[in-house]
A and B are shown apart, each in its own frame.
Chain A
Amino acid sequence: MLKKLLVANRGEIAVRIIRAAQDLGIATVAVYSAADAGALHVELADEAVNIGPPAAKKSYLNIEAILTAARETGCDSVHPGYGFLAENAAFSDAVTGAGLVFVGPSGDAIRMMGDKVSARSAAAAAGVPVVPGSAGRVEGLEAGREVLAETGFPVMIKAAAGGGGRGIRIANSFAEFEQAFPQAEAEALAAFGDGGLYMEKVIGKARHVEVQILADGSDAIHCYERECSLQRRRQKVWEEAPSRALSDGLREELCASAVALAKAVKYSGAGTVEYLYDDEADRFYFIEMNTRIQVEHPVTEAITGIDLVAEMLRIAGGEKLRIRQGDVSVKGHAIEVRLNAEDPAKEFAPFPGQVAELRVPGGPGVRFDSMLYQGYQVPPFYDSLLAKLIVHAETREAAIVRLIRALNELKISGLKTTKPLFLALAADPAVRAGDVHTRWLEGWLIENAAASAG
């Protein structure tokens, strides 16, 4: 078992990891930037180390400063959380190279899954269905033309080294393709120093479903799926588990494919295999694997009763998987909404400020993961996520009713938040029916600007 853990993150996820470590009797060290001296994770950890100025590049992304803090406080392990250095293979290698345990997969596993082309090849080799497209990198325009036979139109041209929606172009015709391909090549080279491209068929109306994995380097299990189709600018805002769109048979097939991939790459720790699910074709396709704990992990914890962060810490400490696949079952339905410091009335403009009054919702089936406290000054330098409200109930319908109840209990004054958006979504007939896809929310926001602004 690990003895002393450095948490290389901030905000709600740092608090979440500190809680899991303390539940297991592991001592904790927080790191913080000059802007976070008054942050909750600093208060809750056993020790805290200032690792630099507010800019993330000089603090939370500063590998040297984090390793120095770990050494000086006598830590034996580092948890990266999500974002910042969580999927940085060099960081995983550096932590291991310093003789510490990295709570997550090896640098090699992160590299393999971080490169979209090698991840897709690994998935295909493990028998996981992938979106029709190029088998790997497309070497030049001529080779690209041949891939069109496989994909048809519209086709997506993506930078192999890209991420976060950057370097993506869509062509609807041969003429558009001829123009877009060289542009995408030049753009990828300029943005990522790597002009490598790959091509994929565009799946029109798709749901985003993803499977939670736990693995110990040899064995792997799944903790069923989450659906995260409600997205704005490719950012998830509302996540739930299980997905109501899947039949039981397809669910088993989907989850088994994620386990096969995790085993094939000898994965260790918690991970998520992401898919697109095409309702009409009733088929799923691999998109990518995230080699970290995800923001929306609590919905899986709610329906399975598994503490995913605690399991990550046990696996990192050298234990074999304690949970057998047959022990994992789904109970009820859970929904998470992301309360961001954004003003829905002003196109979600960021709204850093001070928390004047805070009333946290409670009662049966309600969980509130956050770093907020009364008087907390939200710094403008980092992500806008303030809190995650998670509700759990016997059915999806009951979970939505409970979500509305909890949102009405929640009071955060002094800041603008996305709470009005979720009250409006929870009342919407399409959301209530679960009849959504990944591009649904953006259209809805245009038609319902007033309602979502509260």
Chain B
Amino acid sequence: MQQLLTTFLTGLTLGMVYAAFALALVLIWRSTRIVNFAQAPMAMITTYVALVIVDAGMSYWIGFAAALLSGLVLGAVIERVVIRPVEGKPEINAIILTLGLFVVIHAVAAIIFGSGFRSFPAPFGLRGFEAGGVTIALTGFAVFTICSVAVVMLLLVALFQHTDIGLKMRASAFNQEVSRMLGVKVTRMLTLGWALAAVVGSLSGLLIAGGSLVSPSYMDSVVVYGFVAAVLGGLDSPGGAVVGGLLLGVSLSFVSGYVGSDLVALASLAILIVVLLVRPAGLFSHATARRV
């Protein structure tokens, strides 16, 4: 029973991080039809920003805020400088550019910060709660992880559903030309979309790093799980990305806890293949069959 609960909570925590990363991928996919492979190193480099600030003796929270802010700027700059010139060309161009960015950001990080492992602090305890002599594997940092991702998601829902700028961003994602005709500055919305996605990606990077080791490649496995989560939920659906992330996190945690931790990567691949076979549009994507 205790193991069951522990496994579930570990999966839930990890699932929230995958959900955040998947959400970052979905935000970019649905407005530009690009899978941003550079999302992982972008998150990695912002985590190093936080690490530099914390190592300089400032508080974790200043580092945390600086990392998210640098994510915002980095996302906007990459869209403007790297992606904009190939907009309107076949999507493959942009996708190859993001792969190129992946390599470049890695190399730059290794040059600036070194390629070795460095430990990253956590703002809360990493020990589980004790209740009646039984230790539950829900650490303070896990609670923080779940809450911070939940807050970011609620903020995004509020932005997209209840503000004018959110409506313009959604309209631009669905139909660029009609949006322009209605007076929406579509290019600005795309930049904003990349910036927001990078913030969410950056959050997932900070949460993976918390209380653990970072190196220029520490996010690379997350891009795989985040992508599987996004496909699982449907690349077009932000809600699906969240549910996909949670499902994946919990499933993989059970595979790791009950079958064997060596099989986690294989299991995620198996989930990806099954989803693509059974429901290629993902569990939660809207039916687009009746497009008139």
A binds B: no
- Chain A interface (Cβ < 8 Å from any Cβ of B): none
- Chain B interface (Cβ < 8 Å from any Cβ of A): none
